[in-house]
Amino acid sequence: MRLFHGQRAWVLQRVTALVLLVLIALGAATLLTGPSLSYESWHALATSTHGAVLIVVFFAALCLHGWIGARDIVLDYIHAPAFRLPVLALIAVILFAIFIRVVLTMAAHFASGA
């Protein structure tokens, strides 16, 4: 926890917010200027190398951004150490599981040759 405290956590949360903003803007631009929306076009975009990398980067930034925000809230409002640690552990496990699920889903598409 000492790795992400104080100004480091503040800067890291702002950097992840910028990454999320850029990727959301890129996605919106793709929606507005790209071909018509169909399952095939979405599947092709998500399973392309660039698309898969962008999806993984998006979820990594999202989970890290969420972790810093949730950690700050827990540290500010839960004062009992006996309750604080389990809450932080639960949040960390949920966010890590989400990220691993996304990575495994993207890896499965490439392993199957889709």
Residues ≥6 apart with Cβ < 8 Å to 75:
84
Residue type, 68: I
- Give me the tens of pLDDT residue by residue for the chain, a chain 114 residues long: 555 567 888 899 999 999 999 999 998 898 888 777 788 888 888 888 888 999 999 999 999 999 999 999 999 999 998 999 999 999 999 999 999 999 999 998 877 765
Inter-CA distances, 83 with 67, 72, 77, 88, 90, Å: 17, 15, 11, 9, 11
